[in-house]
Amino acid sequence: MSSREEMSMPLETARLLLRAPREQDLDEIYGLHADPVTNRFSPGGPLHSAEAAAALLQSWLAHWQSQGFGYWVIAEREHPEQLLGCGGIMNRPIGGQPGLYLYFRFRPHAWGRGYASEMAQAALTQAFDIRHAPAVQAVVQPANTPSRKTLERIGMLLKGSLADVPGQAPSLVYEITAARWATLPKTPPEPTPFGA
């Protein structure tokens, strides 16, 4: 089995099943990204059509095809058929600079349980221990306190801001370097309390 095939195999963490998306995940991915609640901090707002969700999914599938890794669909190990969210790392330029980008979005009933931190720990392990990336970045809206706290709990540091959406407050750019990752404990931090 090639290393690319190994990376596309489902991955299990303490509570989660992380796997590559499939065409048949379209309805779930659309539901997640069309929900106004899960997208309240998304500058572009919720997706407004199944076609937009299909384009999003196709971009994820193309990344998996070309790179051998990408965003996962996320479920509890005990309920692998029920999508909790999506997340992971992909190659994506930030401020015009190439690099690995950490992303996550979960259904509201999964908030405050530490799932984002648990998934992110697996994503950073892949980025640094398997892909030997120099750094991973994430972009978040200033008002998105729960996601900011999650990024800080997994060891990411505020690096700067990025005027990425016209008419909106600049997004915050967080980063964790390989050198910093090497000094951190490799267990998921405590969950960010809901509403924190």
pLDDT digits (tens, 9 = 90+) for 139-188: 999 999 999 999 999 999 999 999 877 788 899 999 999 999 999 987 76
**Distance in angstroms (rounded) separating the CA atoms of residues 61 and 183:** 33
User: Residues 123-143: pLDDT tens digits?
Assistant: 999 999 999 999 999 999 999
For residue 7, pLDDT over 90 is answered with no
Largest CA distance in the chain: 48
Q: Is residue 196 assigned to a domain?
A: no
Q: Is residue 131 assigned to a domain?
A: yes
Q: Is residue 194 assigned to a domain?
A: no
Q: Is residue 195 assigned to a domain?
A: no
Tokens of 122: 């697996």
Q: Is residue 140 assigned to a domain?
A: yes
Q: Is residue 143 assigned to a domain?
A: yes
Q: Is residue 189 assigned to a domain?
A: no
Helix (H, G, I), strand (E, B) or coil at 152: helix
One-letter amino acid identity for 100?
Answer: L
For residue 173, the model assigns a pLDDT of: 96
Q: Which residue has the tokens 């990336």?
A: 133
Q: What is the arithmetic mean of pLDDT over 106-128?
A: 94
Domain count for the chain, please give it: 1
Q: Is residue 149 assigned to a domain?
A: yes
Q: Which residues fall within 8 angstroms of residue 157, CB to CB, at 6 or more apart?
A: 174, 175, 176, 180
User: Domain with 77 in it: what CATH number?
Assistant: 3.40.630.30
